[in-house]
Structures are given as structure tokens and as C-alpha cells.
Structure 1
Amino acid sequence: MLTTQVQELKHLAHKLLYPGTDEAPIYADSLVSLNKEVTQKANALFTVQASTDEEEASLCLALLMGYSAIMYPQSDIEARKQAILDRSWKILDVLPPSLLKCQLLTYCYGEVYDTELATEAHAIINSWGERELSKDEQEIIDTLTNLEKYPYPWSEITE
């Protein structure tokens, strides 16, 4: 059941982070509704503890995606993100190199801009070699590239 809830949050957060990529029209009321749903699902999963390292990594990734996607400021978002980052630091040390680890490294990098995280993500990406990449692999490469190209959190740009 946890896996299903985590996948739902990741899917919804992805839709909010990348609106319009599914070729569907974007309506303000749909974004508001999606934002509310992501917020509710992220808040519901925030206190959940997974039973395996991979589940915990996937949960942390979904929560970081969810809280990063939320469009309206909330007073506790930064504290929640920090708590998720603290959980992520513990799990990253034990995860083997994988797409999941690369995704978590990338989203953690997007919060703290620590070059060691990006370096480790690039090492995983480089291990994929010249083979054809999956959609998820290409997407995380693009996400990391964009984060490195534009290394400032949105909140710093708008202040």
C-alpha cells in the first residue's frame, strides 16, 4: 500500500512540476486542485517510515518532489524539507548506485546545491554508458542539468 501512495504522490508532483508535458491544456483551477492534492498526499506521507532502504529512498524522493512542487507558500514547508533531507542523508549512504539513488541525489542537490551530490549523481549517470536511456533516466539527467545550469532556488530569485 505504501508503494502505491508513494507512486501516486510522485506522479502528481511530476504533473505539478512539469505542467503541460502530457500535451493536455493547463487550466488554473486544475493547477489549484492538483496543488491541493499534492499537499494533502505529501502531508499524509510525511510521518510514515518505510520498512526497507529502497522504500525509504522512494518515499523521501516523492516527498521532496511533492514539497518542491507546491505552489503556495506554507509556513512549515522548509522545516519539512529539512526533515526529509535529514532522512535522505541516512539512506543515501546505504543505497547502491541506481536510478533511484540518482533521483534522490538530484532532488537533494536541488534543495542544498552541494556539488558532492551532483558529482555522485553524475557518476551514476556515467555508469549508464552509451546505451539507450529510459524515459526516467533521461528525465533525471535533464533535471540535474537544469539545476546545475540555474543553481538558484526560486525563492532567492524572487526576493
Structure 2
Amino acid sequence: MNPSNLQSQIRTLYSKADELCHLGDSAGFVYSDDLTRLNKEIHQLINILWNKEGNSLRENAELCLALLLGYSGCMYANPEDEVKRNSIFTRTQQILTKLPASQLKEQLYSALHNVL
């Protein structure tokens, strides 16, 4: 996969997950079609990215962060998703042992514990 394409997909997933987590914050209400659309888009991106590898430890950490944020807001209900989610948990824990102290590491810890 083209590194810039992977980075773009990571940013897109992160952005959509953040949007889903804050859906309704500004207007105070949520349209079901917006919720459905975002959930579908996030789920598709998770399915594309869950087994990808970044070119660096930082990129892998950013990828896991986006995936964890996606799972924190995404509705899923099949065993295949649970296997993917557990795989991401394992990867995240491995990355956290190697990642130096940083804001990214704190965000990753927080996202991991929010999804658990």
C-alpha cells in the first residue's frame, strides 16, 4: 500500500470516528441517517485498515489509535469484528511497550482503556 494512501486512510478514519463521537454536540440532536452513514463508513475503513502495517512505530501507533477510536463509537455485532478488535488490542499493547513517552502514547493508552 502506498504510504501516503495509508496515512490518508488513517486520518480519514480518525476524523470520522471523532465526528461520530461528537455527533450532536453542536446541534444537540442526531439524525439517524447521519449516525448510520458514519457507522457504515467507519466500519468499512476498519475492515480495510485493521490488518495493515505502518512504515514506522509512530505510524503503527497512529493506525491503532484511529482503529480504537473507530471501535469506540462504531456499532458492530458479529464475531468477525470481535476477532479484529482483539487483534488490534494485542497490537496496541505491543506498540505501547516500544513507544517512547509522548502525547501519542497517552492518547493510545486512553483509547485502549476507553474501548475495553
TM-score in same-fold range (> 0.5): yes
In the TM superposition, residue 92 of structure 1 has moved relative to its aligned partner by 0.7
Taking structure 1 as the reference length, what is the TM-score of the superposition?
Answer: 0.65
Deviant stretches of 4+, over 6 Å: none
For the 8 Å contact 1:9–1:38, the answer to whether it is kept is: yes
Aligned equivalent of 1:100: 104
Tell me if 1:67 matches 2:44.
no
For CA contacts below 8 A with separation 6 or more, give which structure has more relative contact order: 2
Structure 2: gaps of 5 or more residues = none
Q: State the match for 1:55 in structure 2.
A: 59
Structure showing greater radius of gyration is: 1
Q: Percent identity?
A: 37
Aligned with 1:97: secondary structure? coil
Superposition map of 1:108-123 within 5 A = 108-112=112-116
Q: Deviations over 1:35-74 (max 9, x none)?
A: 1000001110112111100000000111111122112423
State which drifts further: 3-12 or 65-74: 65-74
Residues 103, 75 of structure 1: alpha-carbon distance in 2 compared, 3 angstrom cutoff: same
Mapped contact 1:57–1:88 kept (Cα < 8 A)? yes
- In 1, the alpha carbon distance for the partners of 2:112 and 2:35 equals 24
1:16 corresponds to 2:20: yes
Of 10, 35, 50, the match for 1:31: 35
> Which residue of structure 2 lines up, in the alignment, with residue 86 of structure 1?
90
Residue 107 of structure 1: how far off its partner (Å):
1.3
CA separation in 2, counterparts of 1:62 and 1:7?
Answer: 8
Give the aligned CA root-mean-square deviation in angstroms.
Answer: 1.6
Deviations 1:106-128 (A, max 9, x none): 1112234xxxxxxxxxxxxxxxx
SS of the residue 2:23 aligns to: coil
Gaps of 5+ in 1: 113-159
